[in-house]
Chain A
Amino acid sequence: MTFDPSHAARSFSSVGTRPIRPDGVDKVTGRARYGADFNMPGQLIGRILRSPHAHAVIRKIDTSKAEQLPGVKAVVTAADLPDLTNGDTSMYDILDNCMARRKALYDGHAVAAVAAIDAHTARQALKLIDVEYELLPHVTDVDQAFAADAPLINDTIITKGVDPKPDRASNVSMRSQFGHGDVDAGMAKADFVVERTFRTEQTHQGYIEPHACVANVSSDGTADLWVCTQGHFVYRQHCAQLLGLEASKLRVTSSEIGGGFGGKTHVWAEPVALALSRKAGRPVKLVMTRDEVFRATGPTSATSIDVKIGALKDGTIIAADATLRYSCGPYAGSWAEVGAMTAFACYKLENVRTVGYEVLVNRPKTAAYRAPSAPMAAFAVESAIDELAKKVGMDAVDFRIKNAAQEGTKASYGPVYGPIGIGPTLEAVKNHPHMKAPLGKNQGRGMACGFWFNFGGQTCTDLNIGMDGTVSLAVGTVDVGGSRASLSLVAAEELGIDYAQVRAVIADTSSLGYNDMTDGSRGTFSSSMATISAARNAIKILRARAAQMWDIPVEDVTWERGHAVAKGETHGNLPNLSLKEIAAASGTTGGPIAGHSEIVADGAGVSFATHICDIEVDPETGATKVLRYTVVQDAGKAVHPTYVEGQYQGGAAQGIGWALNEEYIYGKDGRLQNAGFLDYRIPVCSDLPMIDTQILEIPNPNHPYGVRGVGETSIVPPLAAVANAVSNAVGVRMEHIPMSPPRILAALEA
């Protein structure tokens, strides 16, 4: 579907308004049901036993004492989850991550699980399981794991993407490279060069709702799963494959989701809950503790990134080079690859090269976190760009404007851009009053840009028109932050009816065709495309029914503002038929009226943002306070502007936490030392100022209304924007994130 240019001038009637979301009242009254808010009759409580060791062979697991404890109904280990992955290595890794098979690969790795009549008994039972471990040397640091003499995590990992193929195993699962031109020749021409190594620490998505599910496997091979997830269709596939169930016999219902940010995109506990239920013959509810969430799920990569950028005297960037090492947990990943793709995506570069290395470490399997891998690369690149601008003697914004990518630029990761928003966001920042506000002592201002691809993917939507003329929209992309409101607006817009006449629900996996998960900022982008096409299909039927009611040819019927209108001289005086009137007659004109749509939503337009941040550093303590923050981002077209602003603000806040405070801290023993919200401190209300937002609308040529995804880009610039602000305040280039007080003091003393 392509953008209809007439929309650029068109005035929308529903899209762009800010109504209250359809799921709102349930969420403010406590009635909305999240993962842990659901119970089944006769359900058991499941609990998982986790390895206390970073790296160990599992010699033996003795579950007999636990099994004998009264009230215990099932105990499972890897033996109850046989390998059915058929050579699919990424599924095998997911299986191994759900339940350790030969080795425990990180502190928190699941090794066994129980289902018992209550939580108390289940906890008791875990203590009765005997696991015999043989400890192995471990490595949790990305640079140490990258070194040639590091303890080997998986002796079958031979680095891919290297020619000739290495002859021995290492902790580097893949090397990837992007770029064009001749970087070395370009760098030789540079008048100014900045070269530095940056580090970022591992963070967690920090969703407030722990993973939770209720699994029910019947002896006839059918099963139900209630779960908080970003993608219930994907969970169904994973679980069906890992458990050997038929996908159509496993019905997965997505609960309301209490935050995901990429962290609820693949299974952890769900296959275990299903295995427990199958063994016990009863439903099993499994809810993680916060400690488990930190130790076993989530985290991002920790990174170490070398950047070298050269510029000519006139401010043209002549060459850009980066080498990015990203940790991916104990399994192969493609996180550095994504970092390498995004690193220089904001700029128009003649000579550019990025090389990514995926590094295995004894930490939890890395998962996506909102524009995964991009914030760290942006931190390194945007820090170096700021420093280079100073060397050239240009203002940070002007230097970026001079080098910004444009329509027609060949991106550093390959494709040629269509209409994009990097230039406009920079211009908006340049003219923003925030840039001109005075700063006080110990205060600094920073700005930075960010890029994200956005994603479309498989999408299926049903739009059913009730006999009373109301519309129910069944969507398959999980609503993580207000998309039911946006999609109702889109359906109302297309049909020409009131928002209040539409109700959107998230359908379960047995009621709708396959949908990819809500990731890649695709929820509103792709489901709105499917909704528009479903509505247009419904309108075809509505027109046909009106034609039938009038007894005129369907070609003479148009659809305008929610009504069938008869055209042509002969029937120009027929009164319009409303959607409601046509729906009321549907029983006698051919039955139910519905529109369906199954699409691959191609063409999710790329997204750019530029952020401004003011901070104040206390030179005594090293503590940093964010004083003012502004987000400027291209939304293509903001369907529900309030929720677009919310996405901008939320991403910025997460990025600020990452920049200043959040990090996984591992001890020498390879164990996580801060697996709780007290010690892994995310920003609280008093840590932040209001977060100003400015929505730009540069239509996406591939969407009928011009919509682009908006969910992820907002977390890309903050690490760099805050770091540039701190560097400007303290006069020292900050190279290590988070910039916690001890690191700032150390930088000040150095």
Chain B
Amino acid sequence: MAGIAVSTTINGDQAEFLCHPDETLLEVLRERLGLMGVKEGCGTGDCGACSIILDDRLVCSCLVLGAEAEGRRIATVEGMAQGDKLHPLQQKFLEHAALQCGICTPGFLIAAKDLLAKNPDPTEEEIRFGLAGNLCRCTGYDKIVRAVQDAASVMRGA
């Protein structure tokens, strides 16, 4: 099977890779590029663990083909912190203990980042519906919602 050459931007850096036509972007990110922060919970678009931002859209990377990344911008959890300075969402997730096992966390952080970019002052209900594409089995979501509310207020103040 011939590889397709793809050129893309990941977390601000130029990235080039070869992939099979049937390979998902999730597989490419994890297995070819070593971005293991992007998680696979289902592979069918139902859990959100593989969430990334593609150009300006929140997508499940398991539903995108690697080849579709050509010329696009990709943001993953690995790009959220600036050096050793955590993104306010990351900081608030830690402070509120919004993670137990943490497998869902990268997906939630990316989904929340996308939500706050579009709606900097969401209500609780808007947060709950905004994050409804991400499954968490550990927390019951309470502390996740609070962490997002708190991060939103920090980000508005900043």
Tell me the total A-B contact number using a CB cutoff of 8 A: 180
A686–B125 alpha-carbon span in the complex (Å)? 7
A416 surroundings in chain B (CB, below 8 A)? none
**What does the 1/0 interface line of A194-215 toward B look like (CB < 8 Å)?**
0000000000011111100000
A685 surroundings in chain B (CB, below 8 A)? 127-129, 131-132, 134, 136, 141, 144-145
B78 surroundings in chain A (CB, below 8 A)? 29-30
Instruction: Say if the beta carbon of B123 comes within 8 Å of chain A.
Output: no
Instruction: Say if the beta carbon of A25 comes within 8 Å of chain B.
Output: yes
Which of B2-10, B63-71, B95-103 lies at the binding interface? Answer: B95-103
Q: CB within 8 Å of A: which of B25-50?
A: 27, 30, 35-44, 46-47, 49
A688 surroundings in chain B (CB, below 8 A)? 128, 140-142
B136 surroundings in chain A (CB, below 8 A)? 208, 685
Instruction: Say if the beta carbon of A36 comes within 8 Å of chain B.
Output: yes
Task: Decide: A646 and B137 in contact? CB cutoff 8 A.
Answer: no
Q: CB within 8 Å of B: which of A632-661?
A: 642-643, 645-647, 649-650, 652-654
Instruction: Say if the beta carbon of A513 comes within 8 Å of chain B.
Output: no
> Which of B90, B96, B97 touches A482 (beta carbons < 8 Å)?
B97
Task: Decide: B99 and A206 in contact? CB cutoff 8 A.
Answer: no
> What residue in chain A is nearest B27 (Cβ atoms)?
A119
Task: Decide: B101 and A480 in contact? CB cutoff 8 A.
Answer: yes
Task: Decide: A677 and B47 in contact? CB cutoff 8 A.
Answer: yes
> What residue in chain A is nearest B44 (Cβ atoms)?
A676
Question: Measured between C-beta atoms, what is the minimum distance from B86 to chain A in Å?
Answer: 7
A30 surroundings in chain B (CB, below 8 A)? 35-38, 76-78, 106
> Which of B27, B81, B135, B142 touches A691 (beta carbons < 8 Å)?
B142
Instruction: Say if the beta carbon of A259 comes within 8 Å of chain B.
Output: yes
Instruction: Say if the beta carbon of B109 comes within 8 Å of chain A.
Output: yes
Task: Decide: B102 and A691 in contact? CB cutoff 8 A.
Answer: no
Task: Decide: A686 and B101 in contact? CB cutoff 8 A.
Answer: no
Instruction: Say if the beta carbon of B61 comes within 8 Å of chain A.
Output: no
> What residue in chain A is nearest B106 (Cβ atoms)?
A30
Instruction: Say if the beta carbon of A590 comes within 8 Å of chain B.
Output: no
Question: Measured between C-beta atoms, what is the minimum distance from A71 to chain B in Å?
Answer: 12
B40 surroundings in chain A (CB, below 8 A)? 36, 210, 287
Q: CB within 8 Å of A: which of B111-130?
A: 124-125, 127-129
A645–B67 alpha-carbon span in the complex (Å)? 44
A691–B145 alpha-carbon span in the complex (Å)? 11
Task: Decide: B42 and A258 in contact? CB cutoff 8 A.
Answer: no
Q: CB within 8 Å of B: which of A322-360?
A: none
Question: Measured between C-beta atoms, what is the minimum distance from A123 to chain B in Å?
Answer: 10
A583–B101 alpha-carbon span in the complex (Å)? 34
Task: Decide: A646 and B100 in contact? CB cutoff 8 A.
Answer: yes
Instruction: Say if the beta carbon of B139 comes within 8 Å of chain A.
Output: yes
A120–B99 alpha-carbon span in the complex (Å)? 34
A23–B100 alpha-carbon span in the complex (Å)? 10
Task: Decide: A290 and B131 in contact? CB cutoff 8 A.
Answer: no
With A642-B97, A646-B100 in contact, do A684 and B139 touch (Cβ < 8 Å)?
no
Task: Decide: B100 and A28 in contact? CB cutoff 8 A.
Answer: no
B35 surroundings in chain A (CB, below 8 A)? 30
A274–B101 alpha-carbon span in the complex (Å)? 26
With A28-B86, A258-B101, A290-B41 in contact, do A33 and B47 touch (Cβ < 8 Å)?
no
A340–B88 alpha-carbon span in the complex (Å)? 49
A214–B2 alpha-carbon span in the complex (Å)? 28
Question: Measured between C-beta atoms, what is the minimum distance from B27 to chain A in Å?
Answer: 8
> Which of B39, B46, B90 touches A28 (beta carbons < 8 Å)?
B90
A34 surroundings in chain B (CB, below 8 A)? 39, 103
> Which of B46, B100, B140, B144 touches A643 (beta carbons < 8 Å)?
B100
Task: Decide: A257 and B101 in contact? CB cutoff 8 A.
Answer: yes
Instruction: Say if the beta carbon of B58 comes within 8 Å of chain A.
Output: no
Task: Decide: A481 and B37 in contact? CB cutoff 8 A.
Answer: no
Instruction: Say if the beta carbon of A384 comes within 8 Å of chain B.
Output: no
B106 surroundings in chain A (CB, below 8 A)? 28, 30
Instruction: Say if the beta carbon of A289 comes within 8 Å of chain B.
Output: yes
> Which of B20, B42, B90, B99 touches A676 (beta carbons < 8 Å)?
B42
A410–B3 alpha-carbon span in the complex (Å)? 70
With A29-B86, A646-B97, A691-B142 in contact, do A290 and B103 touch (Cβ < 8 Å)?
no
A27–B80 alpha-carbon span in the complex (Å)? 12
**What does the 1/0 interface line of A667-685 toward B look like (CB < 8 Å)?**
0000000001110001111
Task: Decide: B129 and A208 in contact? CB cutoff 8 A.
Answer: no
Task: Decide: B140 and A27 in contact? CB cutoff 8 A.
Answer: no
With A36-B40, A482-B97, A643-B97 in contact, do A650 and B140 touch (Cβ < 8 Å)?
yes
Question: Measured between C-beta atoms, what is the minimum distance from B112 to chain A in Å?
Answer: 11
Instruction: Say if the beta carbon of B18 comes within 8 Å of chain A.
Output: no
A649 surroundings in chain B (CB, below 8 A)? 139-140, 142-143
Task: Decide: B103 and A258 in contact? CB cutoff 8 A.
Answer: yes
A120–B90 alpha-carbon span in the complex (Å)? 36
> Which of B80, B86, B97 touches A21 (beta carbons < 8 Å)?
B97
Instruction: Say if the beta carbon of A32 comes within 8 Å of chain B.
Output: yes
Would you list 27 pairs from A and B whose C-beta atoms are within 8 A, ordered by A residue? A23-B102, A28-B77, A28-B94, A29-B37, A29-B80, A30-B37, A32-B102, A120-B20, A207-B101, A208-B103, A208-B104, A258-B41, A258-B102, A259-B101, A259-B138, A289-B43, A480-B100, A646-B100, A653-B139, A676-B44, A676-B46, A678-B46, A684-B132, A685-B127, A685-B131, A686-B131, A691-B140
- Leading 4 A-B pairs by shortest Cβ distance: A30-B37, A258-B103, A653-B140, A27-B102
Known: A24-B99, A29-B80, A290-B46. 8 other contacts (CB 8 A): A28-B102, A257-B101, A258-B102, A480-B101, A643-B100, A653-B139, A677-B42, A685-B134
